[in-house]
Each structure stands twice: as structure tokens, then as C-alpha cells.
Amino acid sequence: MTQRRRKIHRIYPAIPTSEGAGVRLKRSIGTPELDNLDPFLLLDQFDTENADDYIAGFPDHPHRGFETVTYMIAGLMRHEDNTGAGGVLRPGGVQWMTAGRGIVHSEMPEQQDGQMKGFQLWVNLPAADKMAPPRYQNIEPEDVPETTRDDGVTVRVVAGKFDGIDGAVGEIAIDPVFLDVDLPAGVSVEIPVPADHAGFIYPFEGSVEILDEDGTEAGAGPVVVADSHLAVLGGGNVLIVRGGADGGRFILVAGQPIHEPIARYGPFVMNTREEIAQAVQDFQSGKF
Ligand code: FE
């Protein structure tokens, strides 16, 4: 297969915001600048050592019509929902929750102090799946496949495929790729990203550079992507990334675009305004 290198289409700095009962976050999708990146609806990074920034958590709230993905880097998050399910997410663990027709849940820090670090990603569902029964994939940290190459490149495969390793999460409509990649300074890696996928990278430690086909800085040269910046990938089927001066750790997330109208109101994401009104009514009348 011919390699077509993906370049960076555009870079968006994450914007400080607050959500839930007052949790401080950095948002990069679901902002005035980038409403969505089909099929992704929202990306929040939490990264703080100050308990005041996270302790209020996310008390009971509903979701309908999409999926929420929580990926923990540091800290503990307890989740409980109205189906009776619950548990604690630990560092390196992931929860891929398909809200479908509706769920009410809470996401609360399970600690009084210390570091809280991770991501929440919202993934859209196609119309055919928006009213499906809710389901979860809760993946323990030990169950996320991880590979370290001789050159020190470490990749955790949350979803999709890398070096022949299948990710922990499967059976998701958008056929996602979700990798956590840690690059030593100056070391590069080629990452296949299916040509029909839209996606982004988001460094959360250090920085990375995007390289040309031949792994050099020739031509357009590398594009530097700094910590807490979202870089939207252009077309192609491979991305070549190199660790910056202090190395770089980032998530790469990609998925098949859905190409359907998006009607969005808070925690409800449907195709039409009528479906949103129905969601509000169903929630208010206790049908979730
Ligand atoms: Fe939630």
C-alpha cells in the first residue's frame, strides 16, 4: 500500500473552562473555535495537583445519543449509574461508555488530594445507534496492551491496532484508533492511521514534531505540536511523529466520520431538534 503522509491540518490550543460541579479543565473540541471534529464532539483534558480544581466532580447527570470515553493518566475516579453499575477508574484505565438511549451517572474523584490527570472524549453515534441500550467497556490498566520498542517508544493501544496488537476496546461504531504514545527526545515513530478516518493528536507531556515521508525535516519541515494543543490530522494513511527536545507523550485518536446532522444540547446529542426536545422530556419524566 502506498504511504501517504498525514500532515497537520490545523492546531487548536486548549481553552481553560469548567464543567460539572466546578471541575477545571482544558477543552479543545466542543469550543467556539472547533464545535466538533466528526465523529468527535468534545475533548477535555484534566491535569491538576490542586484538589480544589477537581474535588466537586461530576454529580448525577444524563447522557443520550453518543459515547463518553474516560482515559485516566493519574488519580482515581469513581463512577456510578442508574443501571446499578459502578466502579473506580485507575491510572491507565479506560471507560468507553455507550450512552445510547440514555443513562444517568456520576463521575466523582475517589481522592482528597494528589494529582488528577486524564481525558474525557465524546464520540458521536450514528442515527441507527443513538437509541440503543446503554453499555460499557471498563478496561483495567493491566488490560490495555502496551508495547515498548528497542528505541524506547512506548505505545498503549486503547483501541485500534499498532504493531499488530489489537486495542482493548472493540465493537464501536466509528472503528476508533486510540493510542497513548510516549516518545523519547528525537526518536520518531510511524503510526498507521486508516485513510477513511478523521483524527487528531494531543500532547499532554512535552512536545512532538510531525515529519516528512523520509523522516527528515526536508520540504515543509516538521510542525511542532506543544503540550495541551490539539492538532487536527490532514488526509493520508500514516503519521510520522518525533519526540521534542524533552520527549513527548500524546494521545492519537481517529475514527470514521458519521456525516449526519448534529443537534446538540448539553449532555444530549441527536440528529434533530425534535429528538433533543424528546430527550429533555424523557429525562425530566424519569425515563432514562
Ligand atoms: Fe458523564
Q: 118-129: per-residue pLDDT in tens?
A: 999 999 999 999
233: CA distance to ligand 1 center in Å?
27
The structural architecture, per CATH, of the domain 8-284 is Sandwich (2.60)
Ligand 1 centre from 87 Cα, in Å?
A: 14
Alpha helix positions (H), the chain: 273-284
The band of 257, judged by pLDDT with boundaries at 50, 70 and 90, is very high
Answer yes or no: is pLDDT of 277 > 90: yes
Separation of 116 CA from ligand 1 center, angstroms? 17
Instruction: Convert the pLDDT of each residue in 27-86 to its tens digit.
Output: 999 999 999 999 999 999 999 999 999 999 999 999 999 999 999 999 999 999 998 889
Distance from residue 63's CA to the centre of ligand 1 (Å): 7
pLDDT of residue 120: 98
Q: Are 266 and 206 in contact (CB under 8 A)?
A: no
Residue 123 CA to ligand 1 centre (angstroms): 12
Question: Is residue 223 pLDDT above 90, yes or no?
Answer: no
Q: How far is the CA of 187 from the centre of ligand 1 (A)?
A: 37
Arithmetic mean of pLDDT, 264-272 = 97
Strands (E) in 83-153, as ranges, are 86-89, 94-98, 103-109, 116-124, 135-139, 146-148
CA 8 to centroid of ligand 1, rounded, Å: 30
Cβ distance 169 to 137 under 8 Å? yes
Pick left, alpha or beta for residue 64 (phi over 0 → left; psi -120 to 50 → alpha; otherwise beta): beta
- The pLDDT assigned to 218 comes to 41
Residue 216, pLDDT > 90, answer no
Q: Are 219 and 193 in contact (CB under 8 A)?
A: no
Exposed/middle/buried for 273, CB within 10 Å: 0-12, 13-18, 19+?
A: exposed
